[in-house]
Amino acid sequence: MYSPKIDESLIPRLYRLGKERHMPMTELVSGMIRNALAEQEHSVAMAAIGNEPDEANASQPVKAAA
């Protein structure tokens, strides 16, 4: 199986973030990748149906209904 290497400059940052969140770095990175993939797949799906998200609002958090 293919196992890509994480850029060495990212390791200390990921390690510290994992410690802050009390989770293994591998779990942290897997979650980050899952979230990024879901966002990318959503963007591709929206573009495929002609509903590209507004670039300015793409990074804004979605507010929960009151």
Q: Per-residue DSSP letters for the chain?
A: ---PPPPGGGHHHHHHHHHHTTS-HHHHHHHHHHHHHHHHHHHHHHHHTT-PPPHHHHTSPPPPP-
Per the listing, tokens 């890509």 go with 4
Q: Which residue matches tokens 């670039």?
A: 55
Question: What confidence category does residue 7 fall into, taking pLDDT thresholds of 50, 70 and 90?
Answer: very high
Residue type, 14: L
9-52 tens-digit pLDDT: 999 999 999 999 999 999 999 999 999 999 999 988 888 888 76
- Mean pLDDT highest for which of 1-10, 44-53, 57-66? 1-10
- Going from N- to C-terminal start, the domains of the chain cover 9-50
pTM for the model? 0.65
